[in-house]
Structure 1
Amino acid sequence: MTIEIGQVAPDFTLEANTGEKVSLTDFRGKHVVLYFYPKDMTPGCTTQACDFRDKHERFAELDAVIIGVSPDPIKRHQKFIEKHDLPFLLLADEEQEAAKLYDVWKLKKNFGKEYMGIERSTFIIDKEGKLVKEWRKVKVKDHVEEALQFIKENQ
């Protein structure tokens, strides 16, 4: 499935680290920073999560919520949150339901091996539920600040 800027962002329902089922539509009326990342506790994913943590209040001031999604199970998300004091939801996409909707479940190559995994990507969804910005193949350095600036400039 391909999604396009200006279209309503595909809805999904996944289990959150809180134990609740969470749907994207639950956040209508707020900006949503939906970020997909490969794996809890890995260096790049930890840096990215901590960058979002450190700017969490600035996103909140702009009426934006941050939601992280990976294929990790809830228990691993909870450990990740506790270890790094993450103040936002992490959703377990163990069946890659949301990842496939957003076309971030990709064939990856690492050290000569091929496998399926998450392509680090971020999507900004406006208060009406429309996709307004996407970053694919995200490089972690300075990315969170770039997402914050986009929301500031597109209130």
Structure 2
Amino acid sequence: MTMLGKPAPEFTATAVVDGKVVRDFSLDAYRDQYVVLFFYPEDFTSVCGSEVHAFQERLKDFADREAVVIGCSTNSATTHLQFLKTPAADGGAQGVTYPLIADMNRNVSDRFGTLDGQFDYDEYGRLTANSDLLCQRGLFIMDKGGTIWFQSYHFKPIGRDIDSVIRELDAIRRLQIDGQVCMANWKG
């Protein structure tokens, strides 16, 4: 389902921000910035760990473009805290400083269309499933007003190229700020 040109879904979720658990995390606090929201299947896995670190290594490049990076998986806040305390050599994300959403109830993943697996809703509107539900590897770029300008999905075993994400962000900013379109193979 395409979400391009639509407002980002509203949500309140638990997240780990600056090493602390925040129970009322939402995108509202970032409305005056571009937001790069990426979904990844699980903490403590090789491809996910490589992506989490790759975004961290380029955090200044995103900040220079008035953008924040936010990660999201269906892991708990406790798992995120442990992930953030564990060295990269041991499969962790020590040194990562941007927020990680703990989407235990799968609401954020579902609203952004990244929830992977067989699920339904009961008569009370609660999500139900017979197996674990993980996030697909999805990515969304929102402008300063919260409109989605870019979305992509990657097969779980394939990590994202951060240069490509920055190129998309540059293209969006170029169009919004200068009114300039971006031809094929354009580089910022």
Give 1 or 2 for the bigger CA radius of gyration: 2
Q: Which runs of 5+ in 1 are unaligned?
A: 109-113
Q: Which runs of 5+ in 2 are unaligned?
A: 87-93, 119-130, 174-188
Cα displacement (A) at 1:141: 4.6
Moved more, 16-25 or 89-98: 16-25
SS in 1 for 2:52: helix
Cα displacement (A) at 1:107: 2.1
Cα displacement (A) at 1:154: 1.8
Cα displacement (A) at 1:3: 4.9
* Amino acid aligned to 2:12: T
Instruction: Give the whole-Å Cα distance in 2 for the aligned partners of 1:94 and 1:107.
Output: 15
Instruction: Give the whole-Å Cα distance in 2 for the aligned partners of 1:56 and 1:79.
Output: 21
Report how many residues are paired.
Answer: 148
Instruction: Give the whole-Å Cα distance in 1 for the aligned partners of 2:150 and 2:2.
Output: 11
1:8-47 pair list within 5 angstroms:
8-17=7-16, 18-20=20-22, 21-47=24-50
After TM superposition, the runs of 4+ consecutive aligned structure 1 residues lying more than 3 A away are: none
Are 1:81 and 2:80 counterparts? no
Cα displacement (A) at 1:150: 1.1
Instruction: Give the whole-Å Cα distance in 1 for the aligned partners of 2:41 and 2:113.
Output: 14
Aligned-residue identity in percent: 26
Scaled by the length of structure 1, what TM-score is found? 0.89
SS in 2 for 1:154: helix
Scaled by the length of structure 2, what TM-score is found? 0.74
SS in 1 for 2:71: strand
Instruction: Give the whole-Å Cα distance in 1 for the aligned partners of 2:160 and 2:72.
Output: 19
Q: Find the counterpart in structure 2 of residue 140 from structure 1.
A: 159
SS in 2 for 1:19: strand
SS in 2 for 1:32: strand
Q: Contact (CA 8 Å) 1:3, 1:9: kept in 2 or not?
A: no
Instruction: Give the whole-Å Cα distance in 1 for the aligned partners of 2:84 and 2:147.
Output: 28
